[in-house]
Amino acid sequence: MSLDKSHTLPEVFCLVVEELAFMFGEPVTPDELPDAVDDATLASITFHGPMTGELIMIGPRGLAFMMAANILGLDDVTDVDQAIDAMGEALNVCCGQVLTAAFGDELVFDLTPPQVGPAQHDQWQNLKTDANAFAFMVDDMPIMLRLQVDQGEEACTTS
């Protein structure tokens, strides 16, 4: 039981941001992304079941506000809590979809509520050089995702 190492996460993520937030995501290489982003924000969610692991998403704070505005169908969102909530929900949906896409619908996973907050100053840079991270441009904003699977029949760290 293994994850598709090259397609699953990028395909699912782009589909989710399009269907949930009406945003266009495009996979890019990490070196196409800037070395730093404004007020980098990190969203994380863990899952437990036949395998355990974590999905994280990091991007500029503006991404969370744009996601909130698009999901809610508003011209603009200025409320931080709304923005944080929207980014967490996007990750939650992505995680559920990617687990099914990767492992099929026979396995049951429990997801924890997503956590969203400021990223540590070196997290963006660290993820840029992480071979298991995936880079995207979403409506001209840089984003990276990393799916880590810690336990199971075949523990792996990829997507």
Partner 1 sequence: MGMNVLIVDDSATVRAVLEKTLKLAEIPITSVHHATNGAEALEVLQAEQIDIVFADLNMPVMNGLQMIMKLYEQGRLKTLPVIVVSTEGGRQRVDRLLELGIAGYVRKPFHPEDVRGAVNQISEEHHVNVA
Give contact residues for partner 1 (rule: CB under 8 A). 16, 19-20, 68, 71-73, 81-82, 85-86, 88-89, 92-93, 95-97, 99-100, 105-113
Residue 118 to residue 125: CA distance in whole angstroms: 14
Q: 124 φ, ψ to 5°? A: -60, -50
Q: How far is the CB of 105 from partner 1 (least distance, A)?
A: 4
Tell the smallest beta-carbon distance from residue 122 to partner 1 (Å).
29
95 vs 127, which CB is nearer to partner 1?
95
Nearer to partner 1, 29 or 73 (CB): 73
Residue 93: count other Cβ atoms within 10 Å of its Cβ: 19
Shortest CB 67 distance to partner 1, Å: 9
- The three-state secondary structure class of 50 is coil
- The packing angle between helices 61-72 and 8-21, to 10°, is 50
Residue 125 CB, nearest distance to partner 1 (Å)? 29
Among residues 138, 122, 140, the alpha carbon closest in space to that of 130 is found at 122
Distance of closest approach, residue 68 Cβ to partner 1, in angstroms: 6
DSSP labels, 64-99:
HHHHHHHHHT-S----HHHHHHHHHHHHHHHHHHHH
Other C-beta atoms lying within 10 Å of the C-beta of residue 43: 27
Nearer Cβ to partner 1, position 23 or 58?
23
